[in-house]
């Protein structure tokens, strides 16, 4: 009824008719491949799998300098970040380092994307932890956490590899944006709730894998038992945001130096890591047991 009224209204005001898009049939779709050059298309497909072959011959010293700076910056941030993701996934810290290194090393051969995060991420780590928990619950004592994580990574890798080879990545467009947004928001809240106990040094006093609401309540109840870890964690967190917003303000005030302030701002993670590492070592190097750590990481 509403559609009919809308059509009548458009007719009265002389609204131009919108052309109806032509429906593409299966025959029309297959007809596009009738006169295709199979050999040429196969070569183009193979070259698209290794895009670096198109520009590696033009590689120069200027590009190398940029790559070295980017590598050092990413490396400084990736070391503590990947170990944190491993803890979220209930794995030993070294597995986060392995995942970070292997992913970037292989991906650089198949694509170049400065805006894509390659390697472990928070949501992925959270899902790995959930799978490990479920498998160990249903098969107690049969599989270890690393074995489950490796098996899961292999299965997901094969699926993603198939999607890439078949060039059907556009299926992600069928997932509604509200569903993705809700999932990401819920994951962020869950991850943040699970990390706050570690930030204040009270992880041993509660179960960070419990329901999110319970973790939040238990964290608030145990805040009075906070250790020296809180001094370093909270200081680093506040410093990161203070540096970020300070440089944003300076960039608006001095537009001619906006580029300089941008690079100084993105270097804040590495700067804070170095400063807090030195600050944690100097006063406590004789008795490191006063601070929580991630345990020794094997070579």
pLDDT of residue 166: 83
Whether 110 contacts 169, CB under 8 Å: no
Q: Phi-psi region for residue 20, left (φ > 0), alpha (ψ -120 to 50) or beta? A: beta
Q: How far apart are the C-alpha atoms of 94 and 299, rounded to whole Å?
A: 9
Q: How far apart are the C-alpha atoms of 125 and 87, rounded to whole Å?
A: 8
Q: Give the Å distances, CA to CA, from 280 to 33, 84, 293.
A: 64, 18, 11
Whether 255 contacts 262, CB under 8 Å: no
- Name residue, tokens 């956490």: 145
* Residue 10: Cβ within 10 Å count: 13
Q: How far apart are the C-alpha atoms of 242 and 262, rounded to whole Å?
A: 14
Whether 264 contacts 248, CB under 8 Å: no
Whether 195 contacts 230, CB under 8 Å: no
**Phi and psi at residue 21, in whole multiples of 5°?**
-60, 140
pLDDT of residue 13: 47
Q: How many residues does the chain have?
A: 299
What's the whole-model pTM score? 0.64
Mean pLDDT, 10 residues at a time, the chain of 299 residues: 61 53 64 70 78 84 85 80 87 88 81 72 86 90 91 91 83 82 85 83 80 87 83 85 90 87 83 82 61 52
Q: How far apart are the C-alpha atoms of 3 and 21, rounded to whole Å?
A: 18
């Amino acid at each position: 009824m509403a559609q009919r009224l809308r059509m009548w209204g458009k007719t009265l005001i002389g609204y131009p008719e919108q052309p109806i898009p032509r429906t593409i049939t299966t025959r029309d779709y297959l007809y596009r491949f009738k006169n295709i050059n199979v050999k040429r298309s196969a070569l183009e497909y193979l070259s698209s799998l290794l895009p670096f072959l198109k520009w590696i011959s033009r590689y120069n010293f200027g590009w190398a300098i940029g790559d070295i700076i980017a590598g050092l910056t990413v490396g400084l941030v990736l070391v503590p970040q990947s170990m944190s993701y491993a803890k979220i996934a209930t794995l030993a810290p070294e597995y986060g380092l392995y995942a970070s290194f292997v992913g970037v090393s292989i991906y650089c051969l198949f694509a170049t994307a400065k805006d894509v995060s390659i390697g472990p991420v928070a949501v992925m780590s959270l899902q790995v932890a959930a799978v490990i928990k479920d498998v160990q619950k249903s098969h107690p004592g049969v599989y270890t956490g690393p074995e489950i994580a490796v098996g899961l990574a292999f299965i997901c890798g094969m699926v993603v590899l198939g999607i890439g080879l078949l060039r059907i990545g556009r299926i992600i467009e069928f997932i509604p944006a509200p569903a993705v947004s809700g999932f990401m928001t819920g994951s962020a809240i869950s991850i943040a709730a699970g990390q706050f106990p570690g930030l204040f040094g009270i992880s041993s006093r509660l179960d960070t894998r419990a329901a999110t609401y319970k973790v939040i309540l238990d964290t608030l109840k145990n805040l009075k038992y906070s250790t020296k870890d809180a001094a370093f964690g909270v200081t680093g967190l506040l410093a990161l945001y203070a540096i970020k917003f300070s440089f944003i303000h300076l960039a608006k005030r001095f537009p001619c130096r906006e580029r300089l302030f941008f690079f100084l701002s993105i270097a804040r993670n590495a700067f804070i890591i170095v400063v807090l590492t030195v600050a944690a070592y100097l006063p406590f190097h004789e008795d490191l047991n006063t601070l929580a750590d991630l345990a020794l990481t094997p070579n």
